[in-house]
């Protein structure tokens, strides 16, 4: 069976603080490690009242220090916000502290609005046009070649796997060209998923890091004892997307019985489309959805995320998903279908 991994935005829920969010992230990571998840990634966002993982490398170190075996990394570092040397030094430090456990996932978007992006860089704002060269420079820093005589210390010569993240054909093409693993953001932007997967796999060039293409797909998971409860849990992220699209981002809200009185038909259709890559409902429903998704898209790995208001409910979602993974792995039908 393919590996399952976790993507965490360290959500700050209504009535709580960033400290609460970090405690919950550590607790989820420790549970995910026990449940056999492959990796635990944290995402960089800025100027977002409901997301605490802005200083992503710092949070990665905190989570890695509280766990023992699970890989911990970024999903991702938004490279336009940072000088490649700084990223190489940060992740070289993490890899020195936690050898063999650190991943570096890179995104091309700033992960915020234009005003915040300028504030992050301080100097003249750079566009994403430098992204390919920045990735090449990062690879050079980790390889030990350096850039223009500059070495990353720590970082030089360390094994820090680089992933490219994206929701477009651009990142898929670049990942293929550089021979890097590719993670597609299907959990919030699924429209180009199939085209991106096909492009990446058809153009993939082997590299020192990777001999064959490796695709990881993002999926939302809201698993519970019943289908109705799973669907109710999902209303928290639906409210979050609604707030973002109205230009009023806030902390993650409690689930509600229905969104009908909040959004209009166009908003409902748009948000449901954006969040359509999701496993929602009881264990059996989630199992059926997971098996169908895997058979249709044939990912090499799934990255599950769950913006759930109640921490215990979020833990339960990931626990059920781990049980589903193990049941699918033990299913002769599943093994046969995935080997075709």
Q: For position 339, what pLDDT does the model report?
A: 47
For residue 121, the tally of other CB atoms under 10 A from its CB is: 15
Q: For position 114, what pLDDT does the model report?
A: 72
Q: For position 126, what pLDDT does the model report?
A: 53
Residue 334 has pLDDT above 70, yes or no: no
Torsion of CA 156, 162, 166, 171, to 10 degrees: 80
Local confidence band at 127 (pLDDT 50, 70, 90 cut-offs): low
Residue 93 has pLDDT above 60, yes or no: yes
Q: Is 111 exposed, middle or buried (0-12, 13-18, 19+ CB in 10 A)?
A: buried
Residue 16 has pLDDT above 90, yes or no: yes
The CATH-assigned architecture of domain 4-339 is Alpha-Beta Barrel (3.20)
Of the candidates 198, 207, 140, 209, the one whose C-alpha atom is nearest the C-alpha of residue 169 is: 198
If you average pLDDT over every residue of the chain, what do you get?
94
Q: Which residues contact 72 (CB under 8 A, 6 or more apart)?
A: 29, 39, 40, 41, 42, 60, 63, 64, 98, 101, 102, 103
Residue 224 has pLDDT above 70, yes or no: yes
Task: Determine if residue 86 is left, alpha or beta; phi over 0 gives left, psi from -120 to 50 gives alpha, anything else beta.
Answer: alpha
Q: What is the mean pLDDT of residues 21-26?
A: 98
Q: For position 340, what pLDDT does the model report?
A: 37
In this prediction the pTM is 0.94
Q: Do the Cβ atoms of 160 and 98 come closer than 8 Å?
A: no
Q: For position 332, what pLDDT does the model report?
A: 74
pLDDT in tens, 38-86: 999 999 999 999 999 999 999 999 999 999 999 999 999 999 899 999 9
pLDDT in tens, 209-222: 999 999 999 999 99
Q: For position 258, what pLDDT does the model report?
A: 95
Q: What is the mean pLDDT of residues 301-324?
A: 98
Residue 120 has pLDDT above 90, yes or no: no
Q: Which residue has the higher pLDDT, 39 or 110?
A: 39
Sign of CA dihedral 153, 157, 160, 163: positive
């Amino acid at each position: 069976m393919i590996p399952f991994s976790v993507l965490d935005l360290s959500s700050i829920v209504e009535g709580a603080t960033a400290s609460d969010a970090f405690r919950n992230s550590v607790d989820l990571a420790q549970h995910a490690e026990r449940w056999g998840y492959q990796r635990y990634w944290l995402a960089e966002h800025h100027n977002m009242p409901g997301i605490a993982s802005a200083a992503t490398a710092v949070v990665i170190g905190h989570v890695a220090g509280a766990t023992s075996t699970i890989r911990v990394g970024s999903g991702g570092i938004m490279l336009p916000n940072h000088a490649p040397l700084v990223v190489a030094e940060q992740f070289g430090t993490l890899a020195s502290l936690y050898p063999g456990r650190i991943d570096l996932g890179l995104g091309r978007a700033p992960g915020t609005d234009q005003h915040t992006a300028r504030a992050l860089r301080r100097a003249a704002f750079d566009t994403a046009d430098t992204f390919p060269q920045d990735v090449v420079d990062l690879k050079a820093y980790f390889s030990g070649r350096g850039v223009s005589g500059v070495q990353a210390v720590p970082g030089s010569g360390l094994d820090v796997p680089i992933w490219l993240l994206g929701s477009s054909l651009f990142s898929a093409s670049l990942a293929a060209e550089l021979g890097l693993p590719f993670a597609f953001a299907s959990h919030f932007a699924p429209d180009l998923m199939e085209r991106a997967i096909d492009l990446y796999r058809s153009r993939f060039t082997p590299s020192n890091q990777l001999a064959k293409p490796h695709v990881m797909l993002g999926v939302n998971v809201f698993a519970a004892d019943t289908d109705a409860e799973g669907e109710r849990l999902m209303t928290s992220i639906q409210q979050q997307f609604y707030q973002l699209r109205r230009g009023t981002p806030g902390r993650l809200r409690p689930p509600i019985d229905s969104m009908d009185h909040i959004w209009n038909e166009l908003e409902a259709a748009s948000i449901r489309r954006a969040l359509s890559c999701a496993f929602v409902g009881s264990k059996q429903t989630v199992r059926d959805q997971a098996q169908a998704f895997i058979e249709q898209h044939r990912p090499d790995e799934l990255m599950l995320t769950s913006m759930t208001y109640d921490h215990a409910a979020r833990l339960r979602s990931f626990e059920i998903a781990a049980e589903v993974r193990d049941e699918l792995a033990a299913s002769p039908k599943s093994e046969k279908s995935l080997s075709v």
